[in-house]
Amino acid sequence: MRLPSALIACLLLPILTFAAHAADDALTTVAEASGFQKTGRYAEVGPLCQAFATRWPKAVRCFDFGTTPEGRPMHAMVISTSGALDPASARARDLPVVLVQGGIHAGEIDGKDAGFLVARQLLEGRRAKGTLDKVVWVFVPVFNVDGHERFAAWNRPNQRGPEEMGWRTTAQNLNLNRDYTKAEAPEMQAMLALVNQWDPLMALDLHVTDGAKFRHDVSVQVEPSHEGDATLQRDGQALRAAMIAELDRQGSHALPFYPSLAEHDNPAAGFTDEIYPPRFSHGYFQLRNRFGILVETHSWLRYPQRVAITGNAIVALLQQAAAHGRDWSKDAAAADQAATQLGGQPQILDWQASDTARTIDFLGYAYTRTPSDVSGGLMTHYDETRPTIWHIPLRDQMVPSVTTTAPRAGYLVPVAWAPVVEPRLRAHGLTYQRLEANEDLSVQAYRATDIAFDKSSTEGHQRLKLAGAWGAEPAQLPAGSLYIPIAQPRARLVVALLDPAGPDSLLQWGYFNGAFERKEYMESYVAEEVARQMLQDPEVKAQFEQRLKDDPAFAASPRARLEFFARRHPSWDTRYGLYPVLRTDTAPH
């Protein structure tokens, strides 16, 4: 991608200025030494962190917060000139904590090199002076450590630089940015433990896009800004606007939405905005009443420019935290309190863009779409020597697509299913208790009328969707069953995990699939005899004949006709299709 020389100079100024001061410094990264043509292997992260702590012992602390499946330590740095280098000190001094996470997709490694660069600039007082007095920065240079060490030159074929980089997924082939709610990967469990310990007000997740060739170089998305607590939405909108303004001031062309084409490889189709579900980082943190920020530099920029822009984004966020963090922390605390009152209230679980589109002016390149003798489809070719303006549609009016109502008291999980749910509750720091004795309760149970298993797996899971409804039923809950109250600060997260309609609920991720598999059957010859006996009942006979009349598919299916009677027979499994998580409007004893 060819950029105007003035813009390149603006983007590279922090790097060039830094290099002039850092030529003989032992803290120089592999990336800096190479002129940002390369990125270092993970082995440089630990020593770099220790070197920072040695240089600034009162402002930097290094620690490990987990171990990967391949046995590598997960390194983190705490950076603050306030002297608050642990969670208790940060809380005692009422300082906002900012978590900056690099390398969740280890091929998109800009955040690691930008973070070390910015940390040194800030600590030396040559950039955003005084910012670190007012914030505590927790920096994870590489989240997906094992993926980082799957090092090769073509791991990101749509990306310009560095020369070699890591791989998108973990050693277990899990995409960590699909794992925030199900919290399956050991790396994610370690990250959530870190989050529970520090309770960051802001969590910045640093990425690089794929997609078409165009001139916009970075996108910034913040939640809450569309959903979640109303006051935090206002704050999130202000944060996003301020970050974009600062990035633009430094020469970028920043976007407030992720530039994913509405139609693959066809720029004329424009873009469709999206509110991301909580499997993604910025969709997750808003459920905790905290700010999740997604920054994506554009893959077709060269690595030096991407690192510079990523560094600009980190500094912009830290400056906003320094300026407004204490006020926004108060708003977050108020949102925590308000969330304890969500019982019985409607909750939006998922969103979609409406059909309403507006035309935007987008900084693109001239392109052609011509038939390809290779693929047999249309081939898109971009001419980077001819910048132009695309006049294309953007659908960015979001409307709820899935809603539910939070239970008035909470959820109940029978003891047999507690081992499925309890580890996730602990991972997310949610409040729950075990029933100390057997209890007979009046509850709401969800019974499925339609069960749809995905035909292929996603992240190693066969996902599941149900149609059905909640209804009042009696239930016997053995001692050891779980009660998860809705009256807790992360009530939205509780609902997202346990309501079957949630797109990232444990049910839809397949953790309860066994409950929706039929295990006992009536042989056809037995069902024929049973059917004739049951047809002696005039009411059953009338229902059967009406169904034959109204439902041609049913009438044409011998299996469905026999099952009509099997479902009414005492041998039918009353637990088949019963979601093994219950709702209650009254807290158990």
Instruction: Flag whether 434 is in a domain.
Output: yes
Same domain, yes or no: 267 and 371: no
Asked which of 400, 427, 460 is the last residue of a domain, the reply is: 400
Same domain, yes or no: 312 and 297: yes
Instruction: Flag whether 259 is in a domain.
Output: yes
CB 221 within 8 A of CB 256: yes
Between helices 558-566 and 538-550, what is the axis angle to 10°? Answer: 150
The rounded distance, in Å, linking the Cα atoms of 179 and 494 is: 16
Q: Which amino acid is at 333?
A: A
Same domain, yes or no: 459 and 509: yes
Instruction: Flag whether 248 is in a domain.
Output: yes
If you search the block for the tokens 């990101």, which residue do you land on?
A: 156
pLDDT, residue 45, reads: 98
Same domain, yes or no: 388 and 317: no
Same domain, yes or no: 246 and 273: yes
Same domain, yes or no: 252 and 392: no
Q: Which amino acid is at 175?
A: N
From the number of C-beta atoms within 10 Å of its C-beta (0-12, 13-18, 19+), residue 193 rates as middle
pLDDT 10s per residue in the chain (589 long)? 444 444 444 555 544 444 444 434 789 999 999 999 999 999 999 999 999 999 999 999 999 999 999 999 999 999 999 999 999 999 999 999 999 999 999 999 999 999 999 999 999 999 999 999 999 999 999 999 999 999 999 999 999 999 999 999 999 999 999 999 999 999 999 999 999 999 999 999 999 998 899 999 999 999 999 999 999 999 999 999 999 999 999 999 999 999 989 999 999 999 999 999 999 999 999 999 999 999 999 999 999 999 999 999 999 999 999 999 999 999 999 999 999 999 999 999 999 999 999 999 999 999 999 999 999 999 999 999 999 999 999 999 999 999 999 999 999 999 999 999 999 999 999 999 999 999 899 999 999 999 999 999 999 999 999 999 999 999 999 999 999 999 999 999 999 999 999 999 999 999 999 999 999 888 999 999 999 999 999 999 999 999 999 999 999 999 999 999 999 999 989 899 999 999 999 999 8
Same domain, yes or no: 99 and 191: yes
From the number of C-beta atoms within 10 Å of its C-beta (0-12, 13-18, 19+), residue 303 rates as buried
The rounded distance, in Å, linking the Cα atoms of 225 and 256 is: 11
Same domain, yes or no: 198 and 51: yes
Neighbours of 33 (CB within 10 A): 14
Instruction: Flag whether 242 is in a domain.
Output: yes
Instruction: Flag whether 350 is in a domain.
Output: no
Residue 49 sits in a domain of what CATH number? 3.40.630.10
Same domain, yes or no: 426 and 562: no
The rounded distance, in Å, linking the Cα atoms of 175 and 448 is: 30
The pTM of this model reads 0.93
Q: Which domain holds residue 140?
A: 5-323
pLDDT, residue 25, reads: 75
From the number of C-beta atoms within 10 Å of its C-beta (0-12, 13-18, 19+), residue 569 rates as middle
Q: Which amino acid is at 227?
A: E
pLDDT, residue 12, reads: 54
Same domain, yes or no: 176 and 79: yes
Q: How many domains does the chain have?
A: 4
Same domain, yes or no: 531 and 461: no
pLDDT, residue 163, reads: 98
Same domain, yes or no: 533 and 513: no
Asked which of 275, 301, 323 is the last residue of a domain, the reply is: 323
From the number of C-beta atoms within 10 Å of its C-beta (0-12, 13-18, 19+), residue 329 rates as buried
